A and B are shown apart, each in its own frame.
Chain A
Amino acid sequence: MSTQVSPDIDALITLMAKLPGLGPRSARRAVLHLISKRTHLMAPLAQSMSEVAATVRECLMCGNIGTGEICDICSDDRRANGEICIVENVSDLWAMERAMVFRGRYHVLGGTLSALDDIGPEQLRIPKLLDRITTESITEVILALNATIDGQTTAHYIADEVGERCMISSLAQGVPIGGELDYLDDGTITAALNARKRI
């Protein structure tokens, strides 16, 4: 960094530049913005980050992130409806929650099976899932994994592991809401045609 910037600010810019979507130039802009709003934004942000850093942890049940040992979803008795939704990571869980249609509980795998990245079944939270199916009297497992080769390989593996313990379903595949056929890839169109339904 340049010599006009103090080492502390320089260190802050370097750290900010490591965030997704930010490079050195945009990090400098963000830091300047924070400094210009020191009281209203920078101090509360620093305090909030410090608090979250001290308390954030992975839920012991589902792998979601929260500030307690058990996350809000797992500790909510109203969500113990016998359904459990399997997602790849926390961002997928948040996406499902934004839709506000699923009222059961989740299980975050923490990845998918991948030969390329050397991720095998033992690296995922599958044993914990099997344990939960028994202890929480689960009646349906919903596989909400990505419609990719790795995602579906993982889905089939989990389906084999769960076996006859409970019903297993997966998200449908096809034309997205607002999607135009002309812009869809042929894989999606094939999947949509295979999953066509009577109207």
Chain B
Amino acid sequence: MEWRDQGAILSVRKHGETSAIVEVFTGMHGRHSGVVRGGISRKLTPVLQPGSQVEVTWRARLEDHLGTFVVEPVRSRTAAVMNDRLALSGLNAITAMLRFCLPEREPHAQVYAGSIQLLDMLGVSRDWVLAYLRWELMLLEEMGFALDLSRCAVTGSFDDLIYVSPRTGRAVSRAGAGDWADKLLPLPLCLLGQGGAETGELLQGLTTTGHFLNLLAQDLGNRPLPDARNRFIDLLARTERD
């Protein structure tokens, strides 16, 4: 068995004295692991950093074997995020969420394209936090938890949508919420794809996506969401307070 693909490194784990088990999120083969011989050498360590874009050739005798990767660097994202603590925590959150949500060896072309676009924005563009929020929406959609934010679930109205039902994931307007308003999740404009966003709005959006990611987590073996996502949100909240 052999294939060649490009992808972003999600994790690197030492294997024996000289090798590493590397997990790569590829375009055509999804989240895939393989052994990289000499993966902890001085030459390969800078290449094998989470977030780095690499070209991999995977070889194994049988398809269900772990197999080996031969890795060629395409571009490193490490230097771009190294000195930016929020971007660094964002990178950790993205790789952790991909490992958490996606099944192994299953291609997710849309998530791949969105993830690569988001990773390329880290430490470069200021809008990457908003892009991260929309990426979580896309991740939810891909995992079967798509939110329907097009119209009010109660009145059918297209206007003044400011809540999301925590049960159905559908938008609710101010008028439709009535006495239930305090039990609904916030729907900031940035989740509707309208304009930029203040940090407060982004945090509200992440609270809403976090609720549905927790529902997804129940389906994925009832595991808690990765700490890396919580740390990223804590840091974002701290930047707003400062």
- The one of B49, B50, B88 in contact with A156, judged by C-beta atoms closer than 8 angstroms, is B88
Within 8 A of B (CB), among A73-87: none
- The complex places the Cα of A159 from the Cα of B238 at a distance, in Å, of 14
A190 and B227 within 8 A (CB): no
- The one of B81, B82, B85, B227 in contact with A115, judged by C-beta atoms closer than 8 angstroms, is B227
B88 and A185 within 8 A (CB): no
Within 8 A of A (CB), among B84-115: 85, 88-89, 91-92, 96
Closest B residue to A170 by beta carbon equals B83
Stretch at the interface among A30-38, A131-139, A144-152: A144-152
Given A115-B228, A187-B79, A149–B73 Cβ distance below 8 Å?
A: no
Within 8 A of A (CB), among B13-29: 13, 17
Is A89 part of the contact surface with B, judged by Cβ < 8 Å? Answer: no
* Contact bitstring A152-184, B, C-beta under 8 A = 1, else 0: 110010011000000000000100000000000
A115 and B17 within 8 A (CB): no
Given A115-B92, A116-B11, A173-B82, A186–B51 Cβ distance below 8 Å?
A: no
A152 and B46 within 8 A (CB): no
Is B52 part of the contact surface with A, judged by Cβ < 8 Å? Answer: yes
Min Cβ gap A88→B in Å is: 14
Is A21 part of the contact surface with B, judged by Cβ < 8 Å? Answer: yes
Contact-residue bracket for chain B: 20 to 34
- The one of B17, B78, B88, B96 in contact with A187, judged by C-beta atoms closer than 8 angstroms, is B78
Given A21-B17, A115-B228, A153-B89, A185–B82 Cβ distance below 8 Å?
A: no
- The one of A116, A149, A194 in contact with B88, judged by C-beta atoms closer than 8 angstroms, is A149
* Contact bitstring A86-124, B, C-beta under 8 A = 1, else 0: 000000000000000000000000000001110010000
Min Cβ gap B41→A in Å is: 12
Residues of B within 8 A of A188 (CB): 46, 79
Is B65 part of the contact surface with A, judged by Cβ < 8 Å? Answer: no
A149 and B45 within 8 A (CB): no
Is A20 part of the contact surface with B, judged by Cβ < 8 Å? Answer: yes
Given A185-B76, A186-B73, A186-B76, A147–B82 Cβ distance below 8 Å?
A: yes
Residues of A within 8 A of B51 (CB): 149
18 contacts between A and B (CB under 8 A): A115-B92, A120-B227, A148-B78, A149-B81, A149-B88, A149-B91, A149-B92, A153-B92, A160-B238, A185-B46, A185-B47, A186-B73, A187-B46, A187-B79, A188-B46, A188-B79, A190-B76, A190-B79
Q: Which residues of A contact B (CB under 8 A)?
A: 20-21, 115-117, 120, 147-149, 152-153, 156, 159-160, 173, 185-188, 190-191, 194
Closest 3 CB pairs of A and B: A187-B76, A190-B79, A156-B85
